[in-house]
Amino acid sequence: MYKRQIYYFTTLAHEGYPGHLYQTICTSSYGAPEVLSLLNYPGYTEGWATYTEMQAFYYAGLDQDLASLLQHNQAATLSLYATADIGIHYFGWKKEKNAAFWSEYGVDDTATVNKITDLILEEPGNYLKYYVGYLKFRQMREQLALENKSFSVSAFHEAILRTGPSPFSVLEETVRDQLK
């Protein structure tokens, strides 16, 4: 039961508040150009939602060590899916190579590996927008915190939402300017 409750909590953070729903409402309320609704920046949108999902572990009333463990486990799992995605679609991994990859991480059940592979085959590049987007937000936060002695996490988040969906190169420059 406990695992299911955390899953619901982090899913709500990803899809609702402070994830996609909040992201969309904020971007709109800040007066972002309507053309942004036509453009697609999946690394931004899914990266933000995954970033907020990872932060949700720390707001779930869990022991901080447990929250950290769960957050890192979720990030590691996404990393494995993204790596397998690259292996299959870029390097052309066949069934045996993919099975060997998962076996290195303790996933030896053929049915489980086949299910994961089917998910990856259904939508090439899907896991990359979540994982790489998440990493870009974390990297940006860490870098800007190093550059700015008066760095505020809430100001960082507001600057991201105020900027709205955009390429990370544009987002980072705009957020940096807003935090000065």
Between the CA atoms of 105, 13, 140 and 74, what dihedral angle is there, to the nearest 10 degrees?
A: -10
CA distance 164 to 25: 10
What's the chain's Rg over C-alpha atoms? 18
pLDDT digits (tens, 9 = 90+) for 98-147: 999 999 999 999 999 999 999 999 999 999 999 999 999 999 999 999 99
What pLDDT does 96 receive?
A: 94
What pLDDT does 136 receive?
A: 98
CA distance 89 to 67: 33
pLDDT digits (tens, 9 = 90+) for 39-50: 889 999 999 999
Q: Considering only CA atoms, which of 160, 177, 154, 179 is closest in space to residue 41?
A: 160
**pLDDT above 80: residue 3:** no
